[in-house]
Amino acid sequence: MGEARTGAGARGGWARRGARGRAGRGAWALVVGLGLACGRGERAAPVVAAPPVVAPAPVAAPGPAAAPAPESITVAAGRRIVALGDLHADLGASLAALRLCGLVDGAGAWSGGDTILVQTGDITDRGPDGEAVVALFMHLQAEAPAAGGLVVPLLGNHEVMNLHGDWRYVSAPDIASFGGEAARRATFARTGPIGAWLGQRDAVLQLGGVVFAHGGVGPAFAPRGAAGLSADVRAALWTDPGAPVLGPDGPLWLRDLVLLPEAEACPQLDAALAAMGATRMVVGHTTQASGRVLPRCGGRLLAIDTGISAHYGNKLAAVELVNGDARALYPAGAEDLPDPPAPAAGR
């Protein structure tokens, strides 16, 4: 028990330094080792309620340099895209999933070459390692471009809940890893290191004919396009938390495309894809109890929240896309997924 407590404390202390950009490579190796040793065996602690939400002051949020604009991302023929679902504050499971995809080495450094990694949101809540997982993605986002790669973490509903002070799913160990409630709240504030970083993230990304979102994009929101929806979410984050784009039918919370019968879901999906000039949508958010990627509507929708974190059973999986061909990646091997027809010539 003493060794486990020492590991958790060291991990939390490193994460606080890492999120503020002061950790060295040796410290990063330390947190990776601790994550491998401890992360996958931990379970989320009971939910801790947060104090009432206090509206943040309307000030500009400084932060790290913004990632490339979605419209500037080029997907050349043969370039690999990997989509990774909900990780829920589990460092060990996050590293295991990244290794499964061949994206990090034993020290947690980027090894994915020119791969584009899209993480579809919900890296916070439920587990014990919220700050360490955020620091991991900050680290990879900064490191991947040197190898020609790109890491795009999207916003999930749980990130936005934390920004708005809704801590219903925050675990006690996660709060402790930040140094207590006040320190955690300051870190997620608009001008805090994590709050500022999350405030710059996209909610929806489109790469060629593939749309990525946490919950999904329904036909009512699709005409705004990926860049427009992401801008709408960023604009509403701090000033209009009740905006429809942040609500149950918006891209962070929508479940209809995964849960409705296909006779209802597929026409909605097709209308949204047509409005966005896309052929496929990849979403997280709705956990698949099977631990398998769920293809719907002939592969036009892929639901990739398989329950990677210990809270959901460490069901590791990801989706790989190359030239429009999709495969599900599992520890036991890759499996082909159905692909929608390619757009007709001239479209």
Judge whether residue 179 has pLDDT over 60. yes
More confident site: 51 or 166 = 166
The CA-to-CA distance between both ends of the chain, in Å, stands at 62
* 297-328 residue pLDDT tens: 999 999 999 999 999 999 999 999 999 999 99
DSSP symbol at 238: T
What gap in Å lies between CA 238 and CA 250, rounded to an integer?
16
Closest by Cα among 312, 306, 311 to 331: 306
What gap in Å lies between CA 38 and CA 4, rounded to an integer?
7
3-state helix, strand, coil in the chain (%, to 5): 40, 15, 45
Sign of the torsion formed by the C-alpha atoms of 174, 177, 183 and 189: negative
Query: What's CA 215's distance to the chain center, in Å?
Result: 11
In this prediction, residue 73 carries a pLDDT of 81
What gap in Å lies between CA 16 and CA 12, rounded to an integer?
6
In this prediction, residue 74 carries a pLDDT of 78
Outline where the chain has alpha helix (H): 2-19, 25-38, 91-100, 130-143, 157-163, 172-178, 181-188, 193-198, 225-237, 256-259, 262-276
Residue 126 and residue 161 in contact, taking contact as beta carbons nearer than 8 Å? no
Q: Return the structure tokens found at 113.
A: 């070459």
Whole-structure pTM value: 0.83
Residue 119 and residue 113 in contact, taking contact as beta carbons nearer than 8 Å? no
Query: What's CA 291's distance to the chain center, in Å?
Result: 17
Query: Which residues is 301 bridged to in the sheet?
Result: 281, 296
Mean pLDDT of 282-291: 98
Kindly state the percentage of the chain with pLDDT values over 70. 78
Least confident of 26-35, 159-168, 205-214: 26-35
Residue burial 134-162, b: 16+ Cβ < 10 Å; e: rest: bbbbbbbbebbeeeebbbbbbbbbbbbbb
Query: Which residues is 32 bridged to in the sheet?
Result: none
* 289-301 residue pLDDT tens: 999 999 999 999 9
Centre a 10 Å sphere on the Cβ of residue 266 and count the other Cβ atoms it contains. Answer: 17
In this prediction, residue 104 carries a pLDDT of 98
The backbone torsions φ and ψ at residue 282, rounded to the nearest 5 degrees and listed phi first, read: -120, 125
In this prediction, residue 342 carries a pLDDT of 75
| List of domains in the chain | 2-336 (3.60.21.10)
